[in-house]
Structure 1
Amino acid sequence: MAAEAKQSGYEGRYVQGFQFYLKHSGEHKAILRFIDSVLPGEFERIGAGKSNLDVLGVGSGAGEMDTQMLSIFKSTFPAVPLTADIVEPSTELTEEFKASVAKTPNLQKIPFVWHTMTSGKYEKQVRGKGDMKRFDFIHMIQMLYYVDDYAGALKFFHSLLKNNSKLLIVHEAANSGWDILWKTFRKELCTKSISDYLSAGDIEVHLKSLGLKYEKHAIPNTIDITDCFTQGSELGELLLDFMTEQDHFHSSLTPELRAGILDLLRNKCSTEKDGRILFDCTLSSILVYA
């Protein structure tokens, strides 16, 4: 499913599929629209009266979302010192993020600390030091799929919040196409980097069990998957590989399983408009209070 990077690696055919998905789904644009419409007001409330601000990005990838959020923070509180800690296991993506910062004038004076590691290793490192830096804003965008103990991760990162701060989680929505696909074929698909599938609905259940207050926003989005049903389409095969986390969808899975997945994608996960098949990849944004 869509994620900034697989915590176990970001390479090969998965990367091609991921980049194709981002280009054609417009997912980043959808998330950026949410950031621009909702977060400025949140940041004003979070930063009011504070003498410094500290932000933590977990699974930030190449930093497309981070640079926008940090820019908003910086423009909202231009005189307040701002720091950014970034947790991202991919060296390649971290270098892309650094290059992006170097091209963004209002971010160049922000002190960045780069943690090129998984969120699990970051947690272990922080606990080992015994000196927990706390943050005014933490975001985890499309990254919880690749965490072994997501409940533990949520509890840990929430514990790093300062007073009057927020934890932002962006994840695939309950009852979205992703949710239907991966829960229907959980046994067959959860065999590689994803050992179990969870939706934003599952995350909400856990937040409630912890007694945490949160608010939710829908981020509607679709992707045209018509090519997935066109025999011999390389783009369709690449997209199917990414959506099911296979190296080669048509050669990796049995004919019966392929047929079942394609039928589900077309009839349960998508809508048809003007002869095109549009997969529902709606996201949920969850803002968790400190």
Structure 2
Amino acid sequence: MASTATNPAGYQGRYAQSFQLFLQRSTEHKSIFGFIDRILQDEFPSLGDGKSTLNVLGVGSGGGEVDAHVLDKMQAKHPGKSISADVVEPSSELIQNFKALVAKTPNLENITFNWHTMTSSEYENQVKDKKEAKRFDFIHMIQMLYYVEDYSATIKFFHSLLKQKGKLLIIHESANSGWEILWKTYKEALCSNTISAYQSAGDIKVHLENLGLKYEEHDIPNTLDITECFIEGNETGQLLLDFMTDKPYFYEKTPPDLRAGILDLMRNKCSTERDGRIIFNGNLTALLIHP
């Protein structure tokens, strides 16, 4: 979750801190990297057929860890070819993290970056205002669709930016994951800040089918250690709860009965216990969409 349509500043301050803590406590990046290495990189060779330059677009790229991994693997599949990477991310704080990552990663030194510190909807409006849109060989939207107002229209727009033989990758929380159980059970309480209507990858598949888009589906197992969320006064747990509920200072500001209900659901319906730790089901689904 690294882009937002309703909060132009994106992840800043305490919320950026809680996001970084979430990444540290979950297997999310490791799991996504595994998917890229096992499956996605095999798609890269065909993207560059007959081309001297490849254009890549990351939408909601956060601090750039996944983008950097994608670009490294793509560059390895296309040695000698130039790569232009456009980055759309509304958080200036995370953009700076991304730039710092690029500066210390040797394999990215020959890639040209174009930075767009804006939301996906702002980028869409900017593109539509121009007479000719830039086209891309590969577009990825990883954990960001939660923050758009219209999933279907957003997918349709970014799909329209693909070159011939290009691919669009969406990675999103799986149907029946702990995230879906939590957010759909407590949708009235939780869908009131930057996320107005929660949808899982199962819902996205319906959008793709209604749009007539062909796609491949891949499961990405993922977990999150939320043990500290159940220790009253624990700062780590409180920051994780802020991120997981999209509510700053959730523990302090949520009515006790509602807070107790959410915590009970997270522990007993969304998680399992392993060696005394509470492990949240954060499974993801990768949807690789054809042009």
Q: TM-score, with normalisation over the residues of structure 1?
A: 0.95
1:8-28 deviations in Å (ceiling 9; x for gaps) = 222232222211111011211
Q: TM-score, with normalisation over the residues of structure 2?
A: 0.95
Tell me the CA shift for residue 220 of structure 1: 0.5
Q: What is the match of residue 4 of structure 1? A: 2
Structure 1 residue runs without a partner (length 5+) = none
1-side partners of 2:118 and 2:3: how far apart? Answer: 12
The runs of at least 4 consecutive aligned structure 1 residues that moved more than 6 Å come to none
Q: Partner of 2:266: helix, strand, or coil?
A: helix
CA contact (8 A) 2:2 2:89 kept: no
1:158-213 deviations in Å (ceiling 9; x for gaps) = 00011111100111111100010000000111111111101111111000001100
2-side partners of 1:5 and 1:82: how far apart? Answer: 23
CA contact (8 A) 2:172 2:285 kept: yes
Q: Does 1:14 align with 2:15?
A: yes
2-side partners of 1:181 and 1:4: how far apart? Answer: 19
Of 94-103 and 82-91, the range deviating more from structure 2: 94-103
Q: Does 1:111 align with 2:109?
A: no
Q: What is the match of residue 262 of structure 1? A: 263
* AA partner of residue 72 (structure 2): S
Tell me the CA shift for residue 116 of structure 1: 1.3
Q: What is the match of residue 159 of structure 2? A: 158
Of 152-161 and 238-247, the range deviating more from structure 2: 238-247
1-side partners of 2:250 and 2:122: how far apart? Answer: 32
* AA partner of residue 62 (structure 2): G
2-side partners of 1:280 and 1:112: how far apart? Answer: 35
Q: Partner of 1:56: helix, strand, or coil?
A: strand
2-side partners of 1:255 and 1:172: how far apart? Answer: 28
Tell me the CA shift for residue 107 of structure 1: 2.0
Q: Does 1:23 align with 2:24?
A: yes
* AA partner of residue 152 (structure 1): A
Instruction: Give the RMSD, CA atoms, in angstroms.
Output: 1.4
Of 27-36 and 179-188, the range deviating more from structure 2: 27-36
1-side partners of 2:233 and 2:106: how far apart? Answer: 46
Counterparts in 2 of 1:116-265, with a 5 A limit? 116-265=117-266
Tell me the CA shift for residue 232 of structure 1: 2.5
Q: Does 1:282 align with 2:280?
A: no
Q: Percent of aligned positions with the same letter in both sequences?
A: 60
2-side partners of 1:202 and 1:92: how far apart? Answer: 31
Of 185-194 and 12-21, the range deviating more from structure 2: 12-21
Q: What is the match of residue 100 of structure 1? A: 101
* AA partner of residue 279 (structure 2): L
2-side partners of 1:5 and 1:13: how far apart? Answer: 16
* AA partner of residue 20 (structure 2): Q
CA contact (8 A) 2:3 2:120 kept: no
Structure 2 residue runs without a partner (length 5+) = none
Q: Partner of 1:93: helix, strand, or coil?
A: helix
* AA partner of residue 243 (structure 1): M
Q: Partner of 1:117: helix, strand, or coil?
A: coil
Q: Does 1:86 align with 2:69?
A: no
The alignment of Structure 1 onto Structure 2 pairs a total of residues equal to 288
Cα distance change of structure 1 residues 254 and 137 upon mapping to structure 2, 3 Å threshold: same
* AA partner of residue 67 (structure 1): A
CA contact (8 A) 2:12 2:91 kept: no
1-side partners of 2:276 and 2:103: how far apart? Answer: 44
* AA partner of residue 27 (structure 2): G
2-side partners of 1:95 and 1:231: how far apart? Answer: 33
Tell me the CA shift for residue 129 of structure 1: 0.6
Q: Partner of 1:111: helix, strand, or coil?
A: strand
* AA partner of residue 46 (structure 1): L
* AA partner of residue 53 (structure 2): N
1-side partners of 2:249 and 2:107: how far apart? Answer: 43
